[in-house]
Each structure stands twice: as C-alpha cells, then as structure tokens.
Chain A
Amino acid sequence: MAEKSEVVNFMDYKLTADKVNVWYGNFHALKDISMRIRPNTVTALIGPSGCGKSTFLRLLNRMNDYIEGFRMEGHILIDEKNIYAKRVRVEELRKEVGMVFQKPNPFPKSIYDNVVYGLTIRNVRDKKTLDEACENSLKQAALWDEVKDDLKKSALALSGGQQQRLCIARTLAVKPTIILMDEPASALDPISTAKIEELINELKKYYTIIIVTHNMQQAGRISDRTAFFYLGLLIEYDTTANIFTNPKEEKTQSYITGRFG
C-alpha cells in the first residue's frame, strides 16, 4: 500500500466527505460537512469542545454506528468507495481505517498478544508471520527497543506513553492505509507527547493521518492541513500555514488566538 501511494497524483483524494450531516436523536451534531483529504498527509481537526471533531473522526471508521439515536446523511468516500453503502462490511473497513483513542486502551493481555490481536481475529495463525508483524509494528511505533525483551509482559505494566505507542503498534499491525487519532497525546506527559509527534511525522510517509487535537502548537507542528470546526460546522479548511498565519474567517482567527474555547 505504501508503494501505491508513493506517486501522488494531485487529483487523487484518499478520502472525500460530501455534504455530511449527523444527528444524535434530535441534536444536529454535524452540518453539511464537505472535505477532501490527500493521501500521505496529516490533517488536524481543531475546534472548541463539543463542536463535533470526534463525531466526524468516528464517522470515518463507522464507530458511531453503535450509538443509539445516531443518524447520518451524505456520503463518505474512501478510495472512491462509499463506506456507508449497504454491502460494506465494517470489519473490512476498519482494517483499512485504524483508530487510536484518547486514553491508551491496551487489552489486559501480553504486549505480544495486544500487537497481533488484529491479525489473530483474521485467523492468521502462522507463528513466524505473527512474530514478524509484532516486531515490525513495534519498531514502527518506536517501542521495540523498550519492550523487545519482555513481549510476554502484561501491557498494563507499561507506562501511559508506552501504552499509547503500543496501541499505535496494534493499529499498524493490521496494515491500514488511514489512521484516525482522537487526541492521542492529551493524556500523556510532554516527553511522551514529543515521541508521539515524532512518530506521526514518520508514519506520514506510509499512511494518511487524521488527528483531533486541542493543542494548537501540536497542530502547527505536525499537520499539513487543518480543519476548524465550530458548533457542528466546518468553518475553515486550509493548509495549516494559512490557518495559523492568515485565516480567512474571523471565528478561526479568534479561536487560534485563544479568544474562546
């Protein structure tokens, strides 16, 4: 997959959202969101609490499907395929679109079993394949050197920052092409945060990354494009440089300068 996206045709979009609306019961949570995302880029979603960032992110791997009262209109295309079409199997979709959550959530299993979980549920049994996947994913997530001697140790014994990198490794092991991250560093200390950011910069070569963050500096450091959400609306979506130095909308300006939210 990495090879495929090495040559970027600029007309090619990895992901397209077209006039997306979301309701939770009667509450209109996302209003007419349209957005295109190129492969091998990092897109930051910013905006005040409750504006719909997580809702939008979770649309992309259909994690909202389980919420009672959730309703969606519009289209979301990944590789030009409508992911809300009837024949789509969410299990397949989530192999393409991995997710890293706000709080590290390793399974109460060994480090090894955590990393290969996504493979074992797809009936990969071959020990050598699993070992390799485990090593590669942990290396990619910059955790290998710290845990290579204790792969049988419980994942819960790791520090918060290590757990989060383990969760990233677990996501990488199933070889997705898109990785969604919902405030992946907000529960971590500055050093672990820096490691995760470094990692995101590295992963960008192979994956398309969409990340929710409340940290403006972080958005500035790691993302190519930034989308500013406010009260369920996509107010502005542009290159990160433009959003932070030259926003077109007044609301964006006030938000990034810290006047609200």
Chain B
Amino acid sequence: MTLFYFEGLKIKEKIIESLLALCGGITVLTTLGILIVLLIESVLFFREVSVVEFVTDTQWTPLFADKHFGILPLVTGTLLTSLIAIIVALPIGLSIAVYLNEYAHPKFRLTIKPVLEILAAIPTVVYGFFALTVVTPALQNIFPSMSGFNALSPGLVMGIMIIPLISSLSEDALYAVPKSLREASYGLGSSRFQTSFKVLVPAASSGIIVSVILAISRAFGETMIVAIAAGQEPNLTFNPLVPIETITTYIVQVSMGDVAQGSLEFRTIFAAGMTLFIFTFILNTITARVKKRYYHKYE
C-alpha cells in the first residue's frame, strides 16, 4: 500500500514538473521566435537599405514616392514624448513616494497605494482621448501656436499614467532603507524633509533609478496615447508643439495599413521594431547593473 502510494505521488510530481517545464519552454520559445523573425526581417531590410542611411538620414518617408529611410525622426519622437513623461512623472511620483513613506499615516499609506495603482489600470485608449480632447485644447490656450497634434499633450498624459509605476517602486525602495538610518538622521536633529531627501532618497537611489528606468521603458513602448494625440508625422525636432511620430505608432500605422507583406515598406516596421528593442535592451541592462550594485551595498 505504502509503496503504491509513493509511486502515485511520484507520477503526480512528474506530471506537474513536466507541465511547469512546458510553460517555461513555451515562454522561452515564443521570445526566441519573435527575436528570430525580428532579426530575419531586419536583415532582409538592411540588404536594401544601408545601416548608415538608416541612422543618418534625417527623413523617414518609406510610404511616399520619394523614399527616405532615416529612423532619427521616429527616435526623436519617441525620446521627446518619453522625456516629457518622465519630467512630469519623476518629481510627482517621487514626492508621492516620500510623502507616503515619511509623512502619511500607515493606514492612509495602505489605502492610497492601490488607489494610485488604478491610474495604471485605466486603458491607454482612454488616456489618448483625454490627451486629444481635454489636454490639447487646454494647452492651446497657453500656447496658441500649438497644433492639434503634438508631443507635449500625449507626453504629459503619459507622465500621469506612469506616476504610479515610479511612486510605488520608489516607495518600496524607501521603505526598505534600514530604520537605523532614519533614527541616525532624526537623532542629529533633522526634520522629516531633511531625513527624506538627504538620507532616505540617496540611500534608496538604486531602487529609485530602477523605477525610473522601468517607467522610461514603459514610455518608449507606449503606443495608443501617442497614436491618438501626437499626429503620426515623422518630424526630426525637439519642439513639443508640433506633430511627431514615435517608433511604436509608426509600426501600428503600417501594420494596419494596406502595405503588401514582404515588401520593403512592410519590412521597415521590423527595422523600427529592432531599434526599439535595442533601446529597451540597453535600459534592461542598466537596470540589471544597478540592481546588482544595490544588493552588494546592503550585504
């Protein structure tokens, strides 16, 4: 009996183990598959368009008669909207984190954190229309020259969207700072404000940096808001008041348009996708480095 029982348990364990391995395997294979397709299509693209042209040409007009394949306008579009988003989200997100961590009552902290995270759960298409129909008209009162589609409005709204990403992760990082440092600071006569910004924020800097990098990644990859409110016009500029296009919106535009699959025009989206992938990959590498340093610090 006992033996039989053990046998049954063993088989069950084996089945569970294989299922888990299968799930892991599927994830790895999917990722590999995406990477391979991205690579193959990009290689095919760069057979016809030189890498030099791709990174130096200042125009991106693959769908026009006079074709240019310079990725720079899409890159600046992506950087510009993301930069605006971070300029909004970092100070606000960090202030919220500091407030929750050092000023707020613990009970308030526990209730407000999930509420803030709702901001991240609103569908991005809603943010997009909010940018187009509320924020842009409001901004046009301040900047009359601003066009109906621009980088500023979706950038600001994207910033609001990523606030909880920064505030939540930064708050975790601040919370993890040893209590003894807090006591040392108060013991020397620091105010809450001084303790927060002179001791806790520097001590939690690695975690805060990681939160910001994640937020940047999120902003780089954001599609809907910019697709709706930024204008889909590749434009090599850092002027936030004129229409621009980001890498992601270009990809959507082409995937949903009537460009023939397998054509050079179609392959542009893989080259663009590859560029985005490289950016995100670099950010991930930085995150991994910062995290590693962080773990060494408190050992």
List residues of A whose CB falls within 8 A of some B CB: 61, 63, 66, 68, 90-95, 98-99, 101, 103, 105-109, 117-118, 120-122, 156, 167, 170-171, 174
Q: Which of B187, B190, B203 gathers most chain A CB within 10 Å?
A: B187
Chain B residues within an 8 Å CB radius of A121: 188-191, 194, 198
Mark out the residues of chain B between 264 and 284 whose CB falls within 8 Å of any chain A CB in the assembled complex. Answer: none
List residues of B whose CB falls within 8 A of some A CB: 106, 178, 180-181, 183-191, 194, 198-199, 202-203, 297
A108 near B190 with CB under 8 A, answer no
B202 near A105 with CB under 8 A, answer no
Q: Which of A66, A109, A171 contacts B188 (CB 8 A)?
A: A171
Chain B residues within an 8 Å CB radius of A109: 202
- In Å, the complex CA distance between A171 and B185 comes to 10
Give B188's nearest chain A residue, CB to CB: A118
Q: Which of A93, A99, A108 gathers most chain B CB within 10 Å?
A: A108
Q: Which of A63, A95, A171 contacts B186 (CB 8 A)?
A: A63
- In Å, the complex CA distance between A22 and B184 comes to 23
Provided the pairs A63-B183, A117-B198, A121-B194 are in contact, do residues A105 and B188 lie with their beta carbons within 8 angstroms? no
Show 25 residue pairs from A and B whose CB-CB distance is below 8 angstroms, ordered by the A residue.
A61-B187, A63-B186, A63-B187, A92-B189, A95-B189, A98-B187, A101-B184, A101-B187, A105-B181, A105-B183, A107-B184, A107-B203, A108-B181, A108-B202, A108-B203, A108-B297, A117-B185, A120-B198, A121-B189, A121-B194, A122-B189, A170-B184, A170-B188, A171-B188, A174-B189
Q: How close is A218's CB to chain B, nearest CB, in angstroms?
A: 22
- In Å, the complex CA distance between A95 and B198 comes to 18
Chain A residues within an 8 Å CB radius of B180: 101, 103, 105
Chain B residues within an 8 Å CB radius of A167: 184
B189 near A118 with CB under 8 A, answer yes
Chain B residues within an 8 Å CB radius of A94: 186-189
Chain A residues within an 8 Å CB radius of B106: 68
Chain A residues within an 8 Å CB radius of B185: 107, 117
